[in-house]
């Protein structure tokens, strides 16, 4: 599900960083091998791509040497999709100490580990006694999600978000964005794009197929008949159904939707919504933040973001250690990344939301979105509880942010608790994957002319994407980053 705007044609970056900082040549040396998404860690460059400060990896290497007397060479490779990463590992030709897959791929890797089906993607377990920073500062909400879904032994959270709808409020009724029904609403015909991703498209399709059942569960929870845990379990089980009946119903819903939408997109949606080519785009929350920033800063256009009330999904990326990893070195690097000050740097640079909480992250949220005169007060206790100092608490012990706007960047990055309560993790389709993909292929193959049109549009958009790559605003301008880092010293 990702990630930040990528070049139309890009080559996986393979950097071997010798991080010396004046280290003596006879010092012991080790290598940390990392495989991560493109632009998914603070590399020390400013918005113009100019090296401005040491990268997070360079700072960690210097810190590691100071503590151990051992110098570190970091082999840092990047990938563009989960599938590319997974295929690289499956060849058995590349060995890494840390990899950063998305949730459903972590599920695949855990299954391969526990079932012994593929040693090339099998994982080592994490020892949380060596991850003091994660234990202390990871959001309690994220830790709960990991535990509920069986991720906690084999992975450590990095970034997370939701899947929702970004829209132009000048052209779209806000009330309509509260349901996935908007994708079938003929009032917005040919003004909508959705992700060219079976996993993301499957969500609204299942909602459409089982709307009455979903609404019944929503009402049971609202009436207090079922607990939050029961409600979330039921919603997750329903949304992840992959029996033949459900797949067929989802396929029928998608076929009907196809007649109403402009088309599918992988990365162009966040620029198309800015340019006005479309008014509604299914989006990952991090991309929605990017689009809202770009539209506001470049064109003065205000876009909004909504997670529909009839059910949404939570996604996350997390660190895993493939079998044969240098587990001690990997633990040390991950523990370093989980320091709130380091997590804030990465969050500044990437624009996505860190799974780490703590004082420095809350300060960053306040810096971006806090407004003492704002009319809205948002309770983020569920996310920051037990990770911040007492002086961050209100008189009644809550952790609050006063802000001037809801439904935009702040809501995309830190949704209110009532929003995350109705969100679930999309699971790996496992042995039903082929059946789901067959349905998806049939859906995509129906209209050749539409496919050609989308391909032509992609070529046109490609040039714009390349230009935007060099001109895009990062959430950390050089000025803001220097000011923020100065406050940490």
CATH code of the domain in which 203 resides: 3.40.190.10
| Beta carbons of 62 and 20 less than 8 angstroms apart | no
Q: 168 and 300: one domain?
A: yes
Residue 474: what pLDDT? 42
* Phi then psi dihedrals of residue 264, to 5 deg: -105, 155
| 166, 194, 268, 302 from 171: Cα distances, Å | 12, 18, 20, 11
Q: What does the DSSP assignment read for 292-346?
A: HHHIIIII----EEE--TT-EEEEEEEEBEETT--HHHHHHHHHHHTSHHHHHHH
Q: Is residue 143 part of a domain?
A: yes
Measure the CA–CA gap between 457 and 465, rounded to whole angstroms: 12
Q: 426 and 280: one domain?
A: yes
Q: 202 and 106: one domain?
A: no
Residue 269: what pLDDT? 87
The mean pLDDT value of the chain amounts to: 88
Give 306's strand partners. 165
Residue 48: what pLDDT? 85
Residue in 116, 132, 71, 103 with CA at minimum distance from that of residue 331: 132
Q: What does the DSSP assignment read for 417-430?
A: HHHHTTEEEPPP-G
Q: 282 and 428: one domain?
A: yes
Higher-scoring residue by pLDDT: 66, 473: 66
Cα radius of gyration rounded to whole Å, the chain: 22
Q: Is residue 478 part of a domain?
A: no
**SS3 breakdown of the chain: % helix, strand, coil, rounded to 5?**
50, 20, 35
Q: 237 and 279: one domain?
A: yes
Q: 127 and 186: one domain?
A: no
Measure the CA–CA gap between 313 and 331, rounded to whole angstroms: 29
Q: How confident is the model at residue 241 (pLDDT cuts 50, 70, 90)?
A: very high
pLDDT tens-digit series, residues 79-121:
999 999 999 999 999 999 999 999 999 999 999 999 999 999 9
| Burial status of residue 450 (CB atoms within 10 A of its CB: 0-12, 13-18, 19 or more) | middle
pLDDT tens-digit series, residues 143-166:
999 998 999 999 999 999 999 999
Residue 23: what pLDDT? 42
Q: Is residue 69 part of a domain?
A: yes
Q: 125 and 223: one domain?
A: no
Domain span holding position 373? 360-419
Higher-scoring residue by pLDDT: 438, 472: 438
Measure the CA–CA gap between 463 and 450, rounded to whole angstroms: 21
Measure the CA–CA gap between 353 and 349, rounded to whole angstroms: 11
**How many structural domains are present in the chain?**
3
The average pLDDT across 393-398 equals 97
Q: 438 and 306: one domain?
A: yes
* Phi then psi dihedrals of residue 164, to 5 deg: -150, -150
Assign 395 to helix, strand or coil. coil
Q: 44 and 138: one domain?
A: yes
| 57, 330, 485 from 35: Cα distances, Å | 13, 12, 26
Q: Is residue 196 part of a domain?
A: yes
Q: Is residue 7 part of a domain?
A: no
Q: How confident is the model at residue 123 (pLDDT cuts 50, 70, 90)?
A: very high
Measure the CA–CA gap between 281 and 332, rounded to whole angstroms: 39
pLDDT tens-digit series, residues 361-376:
999 999 999 999 999 9
The average pLDDT across 341-369 equals 97
Tokens read off for 398: 């809550």
Q: Is residue 488 part of a domain?
A: no
With a cut of 60, say whether residue 10 has pLDDT above it. no
Q: Is residue 212 part of a domain?
A: yes
The average pLDDT across 428-452 equals 81
Residue 33: what pLDDT? 98
Measure the CA–CA gap between 211 and 407, rounded to whole angstroms: 24
Q: Is residue 244 part of a domain?
A: yes
Residue 377: what pLDDT? 97
Q: 229 and 119: one domain?
A: no
With a cut of 70, say whether residue 174 has pLDDT above it. yes
Q: 369 and 352: one domain?
A: no
Least confident segment among 25-39, 55-69, 171-185, 432-446: 25-39
Q: 300 and 447: one domain?
A: yes
With a cut of 90, say whether residue 175 has pLDDT above it. yes
With a cut of 60, say whether residue 230 has pLDDT above it. yes
């Amino acid at each position: 599900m990702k990630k930040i705007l990528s070049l139309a044609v890009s080559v996986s970056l393979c950097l071997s960083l010798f991080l010396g900082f004046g280290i003596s040549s006879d010092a012991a040396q080790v290598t940390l091998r990392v495989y991560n998404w493109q632009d998914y860690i603070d590399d020390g460059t400013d918005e113009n791509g100019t090296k401005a400060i040491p990268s997070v990896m360079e700072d960690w290497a210097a810190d590691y040497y100071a503590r151990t007397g051992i110098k570190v060479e970091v082999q840092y490779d990047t990938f563009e999709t989960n599938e590319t990463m997974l295929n690289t590992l499956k060849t058995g030709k590349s060995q890494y100490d840390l990899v950063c897959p998305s949730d459903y791929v972590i599920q695949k890797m855990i299954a391969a580990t526990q079932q012994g089906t593929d040693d090339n993607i099998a994982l080592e377990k994490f020892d949380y006694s060596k991850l003091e920073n994660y234990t202390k500062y990871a959001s309690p909400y994220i830790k709960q999600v990991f535990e509920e879904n069986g991720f906690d032994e084999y992975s450590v959270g990095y970034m997370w978000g939701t899947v929702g709808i970004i829209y132009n409020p000048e052209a779209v009724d806000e009330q309509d964005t509260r349901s996935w029904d908007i994708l079938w609403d003929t009032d917005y015909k040919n003004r909508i794009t959705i992700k060219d991703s079976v996993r993301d498209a499957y969500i609204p399709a299942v909602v459409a197929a089982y709307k009455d059942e979903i609404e019944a569960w929503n009402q049971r929870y609202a009436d207090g008949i079922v607990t939050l845990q029961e409600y979330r379990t039921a919603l997750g089980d329903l949304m992840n159904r992959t029996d033949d009946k459900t797949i067929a119903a989802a396929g029928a819903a998608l076929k009907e939707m196809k007649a109403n939408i402009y088309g599918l997109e992988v990365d162009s949606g966040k620029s198309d919504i800015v340019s006005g080519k479309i008014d509604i785009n299914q989006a990952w929350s991090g991309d929605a933040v990017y689009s809202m920033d770009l539209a506001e800063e470049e064109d003065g256009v205000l876009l909004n973001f909504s997670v529909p009330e009839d059910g949404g999904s939570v996604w996350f990326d997390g660190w895993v250690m493939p079998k044969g990893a240098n587990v001690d070195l990997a633990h040390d690097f991950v523990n370093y990344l989980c320091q709130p000050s380091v997590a804030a740097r990465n969050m500044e640079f990437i624009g996505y939301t860190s799974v780490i909480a703590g004082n420095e992250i809350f300060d960053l949220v306040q810096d971006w979105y806090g407004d003492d005169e704002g009319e809205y007060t948002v309770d983020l206790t569920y996310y920051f509880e037990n990770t911040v100092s007492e002086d961050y608490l209100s008189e009644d012990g809550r952790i609050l942010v006063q802000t001037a706007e809801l439904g935009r960047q702040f809501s995309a990055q830190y949704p209110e608790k009532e929003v995350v309560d109705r969100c679930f993790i999309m699971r790996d389709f496992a042995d039903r994957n082929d059946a789901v993909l067959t349905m998806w292929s049939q859906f995509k193959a129906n209209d050749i002319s539409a496919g050609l049109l989308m391909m032509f549009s992609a070529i046109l958009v490609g040039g714009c994407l390349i230009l935007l790559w060099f001109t895009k605003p990062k959430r950390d301008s050089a000025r803001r980053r220097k000011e923020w880092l100065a406050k940490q010293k």
